Structure 1
């Protein structure tokens, strides 16, 4: 038998009149549960409210593909509440220890509203708290899902330049060995000052060359010409060197000066050193490019999350959009062309920068998905009176007419 004093210890029943407490107890059913007993299952009709009097209980189920576990203790009210639209229990509940629970049928909610208005008001407040908590958990889950996608993309974006830099570093060791051996070979020969000067001049000119790389067909022709030149001077096994020099747009006539002032073996050592120096310069450029890309991505991540900055500040809208586009580059580069139309004057908004970036991320990510990863993304900013307007559009198929009228419905 449930005593009035027991129910008055439950927070939502505190200070309610004795006659109302007595009526509630009279309409409710006391359940005595053993550890492991289930008192409602996921998918059962939501036909009762439960008040936990003694023991520990646990609700568990799958919501949105994730396992949810909720612990309940004496004083908690669970199940369906007045004015709730719940039709079925979204989770199942069982006793963890021996427990006593008061079951109040939902069919009596109309009477409850009439006879216990203060309790009804408290239960509505409790339901509002539930909704807020559920919304908070859903938002947190969405953020984590979004973070997971961004993290996967960023990991891929970081891995590419990191792998390129690592590969270039590995190759650099081999090339430096070639330079050392070729330098030793040249050091054993009695070279005049003019010969040394010519070798150094050619080496410097090839290393510092900033010419635009020729097209593949021109490279192939140039490789053939260089290889023919080398063979004409007895260097029949330097075809790889010919290919390397051709990619740097080295002209055959520039190499003729070496053979004019050096004997065949000395010219070979000089060529090996010059080609290796050219390759070192190329590899260093690759390493610099890769590490610069990593540095740019890290800076973009810090700007995107507003790391080490105050949460609320004057946010540069264009910079915020560009940072988001950088973060999403792993999806954009697969076939999305970004058309930018930014107002030239700075557009500053006092806001939560990281949350604004989350807004841009969601909209742009949806646009990319709507286009199937290929299409045109248009980003425009301008000022309108005291407001900043941001327009993000895509050339995807758009929202289906039959669901267009429902897009702002919350559920």
Structure 2
């Protein structure tokens, strides 16, 4: 076992200016021992027994979720950890075990007050360790929570992107096959001799029908009834392939009277080629429209992702609309919202000014709060999510309300504690609301409150407009 001297301790950056007599006092009042591989230096939810100096070897920090160990940070070597002066954390929030044989020097927590009273430089050095640890752990927790949020969103985004992408592939393939049949239809059409004036009339009637398409919404029963009527009309007038064309004509807004008006502009000999041409044109138009809609959906999703993650902006505060981030968050979580059979109502104050904010961090807030609400409503198989924004003097107020089972009264005062979660094992990290509170309070000088009872849980976030 390595002998610990004052010179050795001065090799630690934060202790290099501490007087030798104080370092010797630290050595004399500490315990020196070896941890074997896998031995705990500290355990989650158990008291921390002192300030630990890792002399040699390494200590790994981790939490256990659903029986699986998950490391939180890189392994620590030649470092100081455990209880530190003025720290309120006397209970371990994570596990720490030795990797290989690890030499430890532990200064007992019972002697910390003596150190504070009598050894200023040593106390000051260890307080600086605490400050650095808080800053590093804060960055770590926030980064870890961002990764958790990304994990929550990735599956839903893959599903949301897959649907329009598959639609584009499917429609492009169908359109290709459809266009291959056009030469034959063209041959039939050029053989038709129609009066030029009647051609114009047919064109105007089709244009009028398409422009008024969708003004009347049909039920499934009404739709089936109209398809049967059009199929009968085609059959009665000797139009080829009428049964197959009826569905598309109904979808494009045609009725039997419209077909009759077009039929009056031609004779029996020209009817089949003309109606076939109209049908093929409508099919092509529909496929192109579907491809356009699917492409636009992908473009909108990518735009939402870009805005949500704030990829095209710096990390500085800037003025932005709160509702933009909330809408993008709802887009990101749309798959989970649909899967949970959840209805969403949005009530945005259109007069709310832009708020000076860290956009990416606030998007993380909305993600956590909305995702938690969705999870809470999951057990009922349905739910209602209400989001409202308004201006309250110099603040923007955002409320997110769900009709889930609520937060038990005995734990409501703990929900913002690090690593505390009411979710089942493996589903929540317990870091989400702690990160939310830190972003709102420390980074935006705002406030967050919760009101909860069975059937009604409401988080109220207030942020200064000009922070």
TM-score of the superposition, structure 2-length normalised? 0.72
Deviation of the 1:355 alpha carbon: 2.2
Within the candidate set 363, 383, 389, 1:381 is matched to: 389
Q: How does 1:17-96 map to 2 (within 5 A)?
A: 17-28=19-30, 38=37, 40-41=39-40, 47=49, 49-52=51-54, 57-63=57-63, 65=65, 66-68=70-72, 70-74=74-78, 76-78=79-81, 81=84, 85-86=90-91, 90-95=95-100
Once residues 112 and 358 of structure 2 are traced to their aligned partners in structure 1, the CA distance between those partners, rounded to angstroms, is 45
Q: Secondary structure of the residue that 2:95 maps to in structure 1?
A: coil
Q: Deviations over 1:224-249 (max 9, x none)?
A: 23222333344575311122223333
The alpha-carbon distance between structure 1 residues 68 and 325, as it changes in their structure 2 partners (threshold 3 A), is closer
2:272 corresponds to 1:273: no
Aligned match of 1:328: 333
Within the candidate set 155, 159, 178, 1:156 is matched to: 159
Q: Are the equivalent residues in 2 in contact too, given 1:367–1:377 (CA < 8 A)?
A: yes
Once residues 404 and 88 of structure 1 are traced to their aligned partners in structure 2, the CA distance between those partners, rounded to angstroms, is 19
Deviation of the 1:142 alpha carbon: 1.0
Aligned match of 1:300: 304
Q: Deviations over 1:49-84 (max 9, x none)?
A: 55455x6x322253254224534455x334555666
Q: How does 1:347-386 map to 2 (within 5 A)?
A: 347-372=353-378, 374-386=382-394
Q: Which has the larger radius of gyration?
A: 1
The alpha-carbon distance between structure 1 residues 31 and 406, as it changes in their structure 2 partners (threshold 3 A), is closer
Within the candidate set 220, 227, 246, 1:223 is matched to: 227
Unaligned runs of 5+ in 2: 421-467
Q: Secondary structure of the residue that 1:371 maps to in structure 2?
A: helix
Within the candidate set 105, 108, 127, 1:106 is matched to: 108
Q: Secondary structure of the residue that 2:306 maps to in structure 1?
A: helix
Q: Secondary structure of the residue that 1:343 maps to in structure 2?
A: coil
Once residues 81 and 228 of structure 2 are traced to their aligned partners in structure 1, the CA distance between those partners, rounded to angstroms, is 83
Deviation of the 1:91 alpha carbon: 1.9
Once residues 43 and 52 of structure 1 are traced to their aligned partners in structure 2, the CA distance between those partners, rounded to angstroms, is 13
Once residues 232 and 89 of structure 1 are traced to their aligned partners in structure 2, the CA distance between those partners, rounded to angstroms, is 79
The alpha-carbon distance between structure 1 residues 49 and 368, as it changes in their structure 2 partners (threshold 3 A), is closer
The alpha-carbon distance between structure 1 residues 181 and 332, as it changes in their structure 2 partners (threshold 3 A), is same
Within the candidate set 390, 393, 403, 1:395 is matched to: 403
Aligned match of 1:140: 143
Deviation of the 1:375 alpha carbon: 2.9
Deviation of the 1:309 alpha carbon: 3.5
Deviation of the 1:277 alpha carbon: 0.9
Q: Secondary structure of the residue that 2:373 maps to in structure 1?
A: helix
Once residues 288 and 255 of structure 1 are traced to their aligned partners in structure 2, the CA distance between those partners, rounded to angstroms, is 28
The alignment of Structure 1 onto Structure 2 pairs a total of residues equal to 401
Q: Are the equivalent residues in 2 in contact too, given 1:182–1:270 (CA < 8 A)?
A: no
Unaligned runs of 5+ in 1: none
Q: Deviations over 1:279-315 (max 9, x none)?
A: 1222222223222323333333333334434532222
Aligned match of 2:289: 285
TM-score of the superposition, structure 1-length normalised? 0.80
Q: Are the equivalent residues in 2 in contact too, given 1:338–1:378 (CA < 8 A)?
A: yes
Within the candidate set 336, 343, 358, 1:337 is matched to: 343
Within the candidate set 182, 193, 196, 1:179 is matched to: 182
The alpha-carbon distance between structure 1 residues 128 and 339, as it changes in their structure 2 partners (threshold 3 A), is same
